[in-house]
Amino acid sequence: MALLQISEPGRTPDPHQRKRAVGIDLGTTNSLVASVISGTARTLPDQSGQHMLPSVVHYGSEGNVVVGEAARAMAVDYPENTLASVKRFMGRGLSDVKEDSSARQYRLSDCDDGMVRFETSAGDVSPVEVSAQILLALVDRAQETLAGTIDGAVITVPAYFDEAQRQATKDAATLAGIPVLRLLSEPTAAALAYGLDQSAQGLVAVYDLGGGTFDISILRLHEGLFEVLSTGGDTALGGDDFDEAIVGWVSEELGELETDRARYREMLREARAAKEALSSNETAQMRFSWTETRLTLSREKFEEMISESVTQTVRTCRRTLRDAGVGLEEIDAVVLVGGSTRVPAVREAVALWSGREPLADLDPDRVVATGAALQADQLVGNRPGDELLLLDVIPLSLGIETMGNLVEKIVPRNSTIPLQRAQEFTTYKDGQTAMAIHVVQGERELVSDCRSLARFELRGIPPMVAGAARILVTFQVDADGLLSVTAREEGTGVESRVQVQPSYGLREEEIANMLKASFEHAGGDKVARQLAERRLEAGQLLEGLQAALDVDGDSLLEVAERETIDREMLALQKMLDSEDDREIKRQTERLSRASEVFAGRRMNASISVALSGQALDSLDKELN
């Protein structure tokens, strides 16, 4: 008798067969891929034994593409065709990166979709396409090591990446043909790698300073639950900025204030080598191909150069702690992540801020990839018994534009994701059959002070009087932090939706400025909202009253009564441009009183029409 083999969801029929899952740390300077092998998460090396893949891609004139160490070696000779630190350009537009120090080494152009492009001899390429090449190289390495096709991958992103940057990362994975299980925030991945999901209870601060980005996250851990209470950071601050500081010093010392791209790339290479040397030595030597002058950089001078950047990370730590609503004394552990945390000045600053020695037992370059591999191993079904729940947050409020240029917030900032929030809206005009939905992000009260994310339309609304339609707008943010918005007319079920893919992302400085502005302008924003609401209310009254007068004004009003209403309407119309909401309110009330008699007569006339031709006994039956 044959037996039917039944397996648990997410598991293979063969209990000894494991799915191939990987964790990928797509870094600014270096990238890694890791997998769980024999129960242990480990990063996978290439054929020469190197675990870290330089995040550098070279585009040849004949269409050939080189990735990794070989590409980095070509940077000095072919600076415009060799692209590095592209993570800082992900999901960003040309206007956003023109002040970025990393931009000076490239020829940049804009595109219709708003994302920046790199001009190379092989044609224009986007940061998404460059990142896809890096991901392809990592997956090829993993498939060779694991001897088979990858079943799923977890890719890490900075906690402070917004929707545009996360979507750009997912687009790169899609372009590379990688089945993405989840986008995981780098701080959470690091906590997983340390095993804090099993051993720690309480609050953990994860300080993540990589090559191009900085994150600080406050996590609450309890019996397998990872809850991100708050997150802060800068998607354009990291070790690259330390390198740029050294390049600036070298330029002054050598009198090379204006350099071509080739010399700049050579200075950048020497700067990076000096920075790494100063983590273990007091001085570092620098030499260049075009001059016999050698420079000696001391650790003291280097720490002076980067002091403002390091101080900026500590300021962000303090602000993020306040956002979490906890005190520094409540933090049970501080974890260091990212290669730039090897800099002694960084470690000293973190220890001074936190009042404790931070955890740095694991390789800060590999910790994110190994944590992602553990998560991928679980999500692919190899560890179905593990109970682990990851709860992340969004950095800024999400909402839609309503009449009067007002913002109606539907999802407040620091809301835990994944989430779904809905709110009901209605039409503004009689007979309205369509509604424009404008999705915005920010903390201010007016749309003009917030950032536009997406626009779409809901069509097919049945024509009704203003205010009768019921439009349910639903915001859904998935576990990857990606937003979709749906608008549905409840009566007919007609629906429209959009996957929000804004054209470029926000830098931490921009997000911080938006939050700061929301506090500084709180009083003014309240007044502006009140004024907008008064104008909207007055406009609705004028429009509705004028429509009623056009139909029944001549038949239901005496000449003197009509003149009074027209006079009050004209006064309110002129007052719509006033900045005094109290005056608009008073005039609105005067017009309402002047039109009360007319409104009453219209109502009586409507009732008379409705009752005409009906017998009293039939009316009694309807009422009863």
For the residues of 251-281, what is the DSSP string, one character each? HHHHT-SS--HHHHHHHHHHHHHHHHHTTT-
Q: Say whether 47 sits in a helix, a strand or coil.
A: coil
Q: What is the pLDDT of residues 149-182, one digit of tens each?
A: 999 999 999 887 877 788 889 889 988 889 999 9
Q: Residue 227 forms beta bridges with which residues?
A: 220, 391
Measured distance CA(298)–CA(46) in Å, rounded:
35
pLDDT < 70 positions in the chain: 1-17, 98-102, 112-114, 196-200, 223-224, 384-393, 395, 414, 500-529, 606-624
Residue type, 21: A
Q: Which two tokens stand for residue 282?
A: 């007091």
Residues 58 and 81: beta-carbon distance below 8 Å: yes
Residue 472: in which H helix or E strand, if any? strand 471-477
What is the sign, positive or negative, of the torsion defined by CA atoms of 211, 379, 14, 178?
negative
Query: Which entry of 46, 87, 409, 449 is annotated as an active-site residue?
Result: 87
Closest residue by Cα to residue 565 from 530, 602, 604, 532: 602
Q: What 3-state DSSP class applies to 229? A: strand
Q: What is the pTM of this model?
A: 0.64
Task: State how far the Cα of 314 lies from the Cα of 214, in Å rounded to an integer.
Answer: 11
Q: Which CATH superfamily is domain 21-239+305-392 in?
A: ATPase, nucleotide binding domain (3.30.420.40)
Whether 25 is a known active-site residue: answer yes
Beta strands in 19-77 (DSSP E): 21-25, 30-37, 40-43, 53-54, 56-59, 65-67
- 208 is known as an active-site residue: yes
Q: What does each C-alpha distance from 22 to 19, 155, 514, 525, 557 come to in angstroms?
A: 10, 9, 37, 48, 78
Under 8 Å between Cβ of 128 and 55: no
Task: Specify the CATH class of 395-520 in words.
Answer: mainly beta
What is the predicted pLDDT for the residue at 137?
95
The residue assigned the tokens 């994860």 is: 206
Q: Which CATH number fits domain 541-611: 3.40.50.720, 1.20.1270.10, 1.20.1290.10, 3.40.50.1000?
A: 1.20.1270.10
The two structure tokens encoding residue 187: 């701080």
Neighbouring C-beta atoms of residue 300, cutoff 10 Å: 11
Same fold flag, 21-239+305-392 and 395-520: no
In angstroms, the CA 339 to CA 341 distance is: 5
Active-site residue identified among 46, 163, 208, 270: 208
Residues 6+ apart with CB under 8 A from 258: none
Among 25, 162, 244, 449, the one annotated catalytic: 25
Cis peptide before 418 (omega within 30 of 0): yes
pLDDT in tens, 174-229: 888 899 999 998 888 888 888 765 555 788 899 999 888 898 989 888 766 777 88
pLDDT, tens digit (0-9, with 9 covering 90-100), for 75-117: 888 888 999 989 988 877 777 776 666 677 788 887 766 678 8
Phi (first) and psi of residue 319, to 5 degrees: -65, -40
Contact 43, 24 (CB under 8 A): no
Considering the candidates 46, 129, 171, 186, report the single residue annotated as catalytic: 186
| pLDDT for the residue 384 | 61
- Contacts of residue 191, defined as CB under 8 A and 6 or more positions apart, other chains included, come to 197, 200, 204, 206, 219, 221, 226, 335, 371
Cα 67 from chain centre? 28
Instruction: Name 438's bridge partners.
Output: 455
Q: How far apart are CA 583 and CA 564, in angstroms?
A: 19
Cβ-contact 373, 40 below 8 angstroms: no
Residues in the chain: 624
Query: What are the domain boundaries of the chain?
Result: 21-239+305-392, 395-520, 541-611
Comparing CA positions, the residue from 117, 105, 57 lying closest to residue 82 is 57
